[in-house]
Chains A and B, each alone.
Chain A
Amino acid sequence: MPTFSIRLRLIFLSVLLLSILAGSSALLIRELIRDSRSLSEEAKLVSIVRDANSASKHFGDLKYWAIDSAVTQLAGSQDAAELAKSGLESDLKAISAVDPHVVAAIGGEVYIMTNLTRQAALAYSSDDSAAGNALVAQAKTRILAIEDQIDKIVGRLEEQAIVRRDASMRQAEFATRLAIAGGIGALALALGFTALTVHSITIPLKQLDRSIASITRGDLNVAMPPPSVPEIAAMTKTLAMLRDSLIERDRLEGERQRAEMEAHAARDTAEAALHDLKAAQANLIQAEKMASLGQLTAGIAHEIKNPLNFVNNFASLSVGLLDELNAAAAPALAMLDARRRGEFTEACDLLIGNLQRIGEHGRRADNIVKSMLAHSRGGSGHLESVDLNALVDESLNLAYHGARAQDQNFNVTIERAYDENIPPLSLVPQDMTRVFLNLFGNAFYSANKRKREMNGADFRPTLALTTRDLGDAVEVRVRDNGGGIPPEIRDKLFQPFFTTKPTGEGTGLGLSIAYEIVTNQHRGTIEVSSLVGEFTEFTVRLPRGHSPDRSA
């Protein structure tokens, strides 16, 4: 049954139901036929019994009237006897089929009996009473025998009729029971098959309905009903196609979203790369600018150094020469009057003063030139394995005492946070010390300048010093709570000769040299962050495991 179509199933069910109907009807008809047959036989038997009873009655009339006519010889009796006899003969004829031999024997006896009565009548008419009586006696014997025979037949027929009637009743009862049982059975069978067929159709339909509902809800992870019925299988196939196309749609949607996300990620990566690239480019440009500025600075220093040396040398020589001049001219001067001698001495003193000023400013210029030359002097120091914390701390002490020496009122709170796990670092100690001296000096200057500007308000100049191991690099942060650096000049901080200090206090080369040393010589980075009125923080990062560039 699994692959039969619904139409076939319904046809099959109809045929089955009709068969059941036909079968049960046939059974009932057969029983009815049997019943009616039994009834007709019973009716026939009843008629025979009636005929037998009629024969018995006619024989009673006959024996009476035959004896009477024999004795009386009356014509009326004679007729009555004849009528009874013909009635008896007709009755016997009717029942002869029941037992032909006995009926024939009864006919024979009747014939003998009537002959005996007729002979008796003749005897009586001839007045032979004795003979007549003897013949009547014989006839009476015959009558008894005939009565006995007729009673036997009637009894037997009545018995047969009773048996037949009982059988008919049983047959009718059986037919009734059979009709009831057959009806119930047929009904049960019909109901059963109908239920089975309906069930076989509705089960896959319900499964299909559940699948449809599930897909409608959006749950595509649903099993399809088994293909048990071709019509439903077709629907199932369509539904499965729908489900598969929905799954495919979802998959494509997912893929589209994934692709979109990937595209987003790729775009973000590209943008980040572009951003990095721009930053790197800016750094490169800055580094290039600084490098060319450094070279220019060094070049200028080279060119100025020699003439400046001459200026300084000749200035100091000239002072000595003036002394010699004074000594040589002393006798002549003694001969001059006081006013002229005074003029001479005044001019000499002015000349000496001028030469001293030339020497003084020459030395100042020489200091600037020396600082400028530091740009070209990178790499002159030796590479050593250094404890960075110790180096920083040593530089801090130097800077602190330097500041104290310049200004007795100088004071600063120092907060140290050293990472004790920084391994020894390969660097040029003199140059890195120079970097830190510069940063500390600037920090001290800035913090104290702010204190002066606040005119005794409650302000504590503070320098916070942090070292940190970053894994592939180490970091030193120098933070002061001075006035900060305005954003517009932050770009110029590392340029040579850029200074915010009054003329004569700063060369503008400190950070420029620090930049040179950190960036070119040690391949590190130096950055500044600042908030005006809050703080300035310089961050120096030095790579680990990188040899400083000796050729820089």
Chain B
Amino acid sequence: MPVSILIVDDEPDVAVLFRQHFRRETREGVYVLHFALSAAEALDRLASDIEPELVVILSDINMPGMDGLALLREIKKRWPELPVMMLTAYDDEERRRRAADSGAADFVTKPVDFDFLKTRLRELHGSSV
């Protein structure tokens, strides 16, 4: 039974990158990847039901308009159970602390170590693999 992952990043090539890295997983029916280019789009996508079941959101922090941390807080307000992992090119204590305070499930720095990311994803939704 596949599950959905929503990736929020203002860079369109992030979708290309993720699709290539998760080529095997999508082919094998483990994950279905969804992409949003802004926080607003992500909230729209969340409002309309995502099929199959959405198990995790990966969001960039630095984005035009509503940034990733604001999106995180909004999601935690409306869907408190939904895990959100933050992705950022900037690894600093301040961001990590604020993300954790706002309820982020994890904090992953770019360039993304996809092996590490996949391990964390498996840990998050457990039984899917």
Contacts and interface: CB of A to CB of B under 8 A. Distances in A.
Interface of A: 302, 305-306, 309-310, 312-314, 317, 321, 366, 373, 377, 380-382
A436 B119 CA distance: 38
8 contacts: A302-B90, A305-B110, A306-B89, A313-B111, A313-B112, A317-B17, A317-B20, A321-B20
Nearest to B109: A309
B93 A312 contact: no
A368 B111 CA distance: 14
A140 to B, nearest CB: 190
Interface of B: 11, 13, 17, 20-21, 89-90, 92-94, 110-112
Contacts of A366: 111
A9 to B, nearest CB: 108
Nearest to A309: B111
Nearest to A373: B90
Kindly name the residue among B11, B111, B112 whose own CB sees the greatest number of chain A CB atoms within 10 A. Answer: B111
A358 to B, nearest CB: 13
A321 B20 CA distance: 9
Contacts of B17: 310, 313-314, 317
A305 B13 CA distance: 14
Contacts of B11: 306, 310
Given A305-B110, A309-B111, A380-B92, 5 more contacts: A310-B11, A313-B112, A317-B21, A381-B93, A382-B93
Contacts of B112: 313
A127 to B, nearest CB: 209
Contacts of A382: 93
Nearest 7 CB-CB pairs, A to B? Answer: A309-B111, A380-B92, A305-B89, A380-B93, A309-B110, A317-B20, A312-B111
B59 to A, nearest CB: 15
Contacts of A302: 89-90
Nearest to B111: A309
A306 B88 CA distance: 10
Nearest to A550: B94
Contact of B13 (A310, A373, A377, A381): A310
Given A314-B17, A317-B17, A366-B111, A309 B89 contact: yes
A310 B110 CA distance: 10
Nearest to A312: B111
A305 B112 CA distance: 12
Contacts of B110: 305-306, 309
A312 B112 CA distance: 10
A113 to B, nearest CB: 187
A323 to B, nearest CB: 13
Nearest to A317: B20
Kindly name the residue among B90, B94, B112 whose own CB sees the greatest number of chain A CB atoms within 10 A. Answer: B90
Nearest to B9: A306
Nearest to B16: A314
Nearest to B112: A313
Nearest to B24: A324
Contacts of A312: 111
Contacts of B89: 302, 305-306, 309
A333 B11 CA distance: 38
B94 A380 contact: yes
Contacts of B111: 309, 312-313, 366
A306 B20 CA distance: 18
A309 B111 CA distance: 5
Contacts of B90: 302, 305, 373
Contacts of B93: 380-382
A537 B112 CA distance: 42
Contacts of A305: 89-90, 110
A310 B89 CA distance: 11
A462 to B, nearest CB: 38
A305 B110 CA distance: 9
B35 to A, nearest CB: 15
A314 B112 CA distance: 12
Nearest to B92: A380
B61 to A, nearest CB: 12
A380 B92 CA distance: 6
Nearest to A324: B23
Contacts of A317: 17, 20-21
A126 B76 CA distance: 223
A438 B74 CA distance: 43
B68 to A, nearest CB: 14
Contacts of A377: 92
A313 B111 CA distance: 7
